Amino acid sequence: MYAVIDIETTGGSPEREKITEIALYLTDGTQVVNEWSTLVNPEKRISSRITQLTGITNEMVEGAPCFYEIAKELIGLTDKATFVAHNAWFDYNFIRSEFRQLGYTYKRDVLCTLQLSRKLIPGLCSYSLGNLCDELGIPIRNRHRAAGDALATVLLFHHLRQLDYLQHGKVLLTKIPALAKLHPDLDTEKIKSLPEDPGVYYFYDKTGTIIYIGKSKNLHQRVMTHFGNGHSGKALRMREQVADIGFELTGSELIALLLESAEIKKHMPVYNRSQRRNSSGYGIFRYFDEHGYLRFSLGRNEQDDIPLLSFTSKDAASGKLGALLEKYHLCQKLCGLYDSNGPCFQHQIGICSGACVGKETPTAYNLRATKALREFELDQENFFILDRGREPGELSVVKVEHGHLVGYGYIPEDEQGFGTDLLHDCIRPLPYNREMRSILKTWLRNNTRTKIITF
């Protein structure tokens, strides 16, 4: 049985926002056998922007049940059913967050019609629910309302199952994939019972040696990708050697990033050697050339050097360097933004002072390049970062002193107003390495609402 679900919310973050509407259709894969929907009182104000998108107003949810009042019914409706949605992890993580706040762990097998569509209908410009329905002639009534979007997802799901059957002679992709051949000592129940929360995971071989360390916002989902079918080469060899799994919940994704970095350098697992330095694809790097000029470059994060700052795309990294070039009158060529054997373009039109051809001395040029370099440093030298904890009612704490990571810890949320002594005392030391500065800087740049306490 499949539970096809859609939700509407007060915003995009499961940690900060709440559900305002849920719709669910139970289907056996070919026809609907039950349906259920309700507005939900989010117990917070709905912004005008969200109301404009969904049509759901504060007045409409004022008399609606709160989530805790419908939680038991939702558990029963989805019991032994596969959770299906379009961009499923958004809906699933929101519902799991609501249950987590009630002290209950909600766990279901998950299928995503967006991912299935990419596999079964390749080559489309967009795989949004609206675009797919337009392409396939599936009607959507009451767009951006839970019942309308959920019913359209049901029709899309039925269509995908039919496509799956036609392409493979039987239904394959819309079944939960079985775990591939594993080491005989590995307990598959341990894999299936992994929490769907942020943390660091460890793979051990039959001798108890750590052979791989990873981190994820969703431990269960990430580890399952290691043990599903479709891997090759080194990934297959590693999978066959994994005899046991361990993990540490962190609550905070930032702590997961920092702990992973420290643990890899401590244990040096054999399958982490070529791992990317961090989760972002491109970085800005610095070096001195043979003439003594301080230079910047763009590159992928696979290289051995630690980036000053990481970015999800080359264009984003290039844009940051371009802004620094303009602000500090740097040379295009010495910033890796102009490739030629001669002068950069801006020198040719009289903007660059000529470091690219030796007309400006390294001493003069580096004065400005060093100012640009300072923009990659942390804004504060001594501070705490407060983030979500491992469970409701808990906060995580990261301590930075003199610009270097000291460690992390956890405090009860209701004690955060007791002063900084509590924050200092909760810290568990973590060995510092150069990569952590880049991790911290990138995190702070991408999470501008992070709570910072200076000391």
Phi-psi region of 169 (alpha: psi -120 to 50; beta: other; left: phi over 0): left
Mean pLDDT along residues 286-308: 84
Q: Give me the residue label for tokens 């060093």.
A: 370
The domain made up of 2-168 has a fold known as: Nucleotidyltransferase; domain 5 (3.30.420)
pLDDT score recorded for residue 311: 80
Percentage of residues in the chain having pLDDT higher than 90: 49
pLDDT tens digits, residue range 321-341? 999 999 999 999 999 998 888
Question: How high is the mean pLDDT of the chain?
Answer: 88
Number of other residues whose CB lies within 10 A of the CB of residue 437: 21
Domain 188-272 has CATH 3.40.1440.10: yes
Phi-psi region of 141 (alpha: psi -120 to 50; beta: other; left: phi over 0): beta
Q: What residues contact 425, with CB distance under 8 A and at least 6 apart?
A: none
Dist CA 435 CA 278 (whole Å):
9
Of the candidate ranges 50-54, 99-103, 168-172, 261-265, the one whose mean pLDDT is the lowest: 168-172
Residue 303 reports pLDDT greater than 70: no
Question: Taking the model in full, what pTM does it have?
Answer: 0.61
pLDDT score recorded for residue 329: 92
Name the most confidently modeled range: 38-47, 235-244, 444-453: 38-47
Dist CA 387 CA 138 (whole Å):
42
pLDDT score recorded for residue 231: 61
Dist CA 245 CA 162 (whole Å):
37
pLDDT score recorded for residue 379: 67
Question: Would you place residue 277 in the very low, low, confident or very high pLDDT band (cuts 50, 70, 90)?
Answer: very low
Higher pLDDT, 256 or 180: 256
pLDDT score recorded for residue 432: 76
pLDDT score recorded for residue 416: 63
How would you classify the pairing of strands 428-429 and 404-412? Answer: antiparallel
Residue 21 reports pLDDT greater than 90: yes
Burial of 96 (0-12, 13-18, 19+ CB in 10 A): buried
pLDDT score recorded for residue 171: 76
How would you classify the pairing of strands 110-112 and 82-85? Answer: parallel
Report domain extents, the chain: 2-168, 188-272, 282-374, 383-454
Which tokens go with 338? 């102009």
Q: What residues contact 292, with CB distance under 8 A and at least 6 apart?
A: 362, 366
Residue 211 reports pLDDT greater than 70: yes
Between the alpha carbon of residue 221 and those of residues 84, 93, 255, 280, the distances in Å are: 15, 12, 18, 19
In a 3-state reduction of DSSP, which class is residue 10? coil
- DSSP structure string for 270-323: GGGTT--SSSSSEEEEEEE-TT--EEEEEEETTSSSPPSEEESSHHHHHHHHHH
Which of 253, 195, 265, 261 has the alpha carbon at shortest distance from 398? 253
pLDDT score recorded for residue 150: 95
Does this chain's domain 2-168 share its CATH topology with 188-272? no
Mean pLDDT along residues 67-77: 95
Higher pLDDT, 78 or 103: 78
Residue 3 reports pLDDT greater than 70: yes
Residue 124 φ then ψ, to 5°: -80, 150
Which of 391, 422, 398, 386 has the alpha carbon at shortest distance from 257? 398
Amino acid in position 277? R
